[in-house]
Amino acid sequence: MLLFTENGRTYSFQEIVGWLKEAGFYDLTRMDLTFPRAIYVLTGRK
């Protein structure tokens, strides 16, 4: 999973999970959705 920004920087799944954990989120789950191209949704609780 990558997150793209306007400046062209990409962030990995592990980086995003790290930010969310630092912000107090837990029970993080990655859902893989099947569409014409791969889409992933990350959910969590706070």
What are the sequence ranges of the domains in the chain?
Answer: 2-45
pLDDT of residue 7: 72
Q: Which residue has the higher pLDDT, 35 or 27?
A: 27
Please state, in angstroms and rounded to a whole number, the distance separating the CA atoms of residues 12 and 7.
15
Give the pLDDT band (50/70/90) at residue 17. Answer: very high
Beta bridge partners of 38: 34
pLDDT of residue 10: 74
Both tokens assigned to 22: 């630092």
Reduced to 3 states (helix: H, G, I; strand: E, B; else coil), residue 25 is coil
Output the pTM of the full model. 0.68
Average per-residue pLDDT in the chain?
A: 84
State the Cα angle at 6 between 11 and 32, rounded to 5°.
45
Please state, in angstroms and rounded to a whole number, the distance separating the CA atoms of residues 21 and 29.
12
The average pLDDT across 6-21 equals: 84
Answer yes or no: are the C-beta atoms of 1 and 30 closer than 8 Å. yes
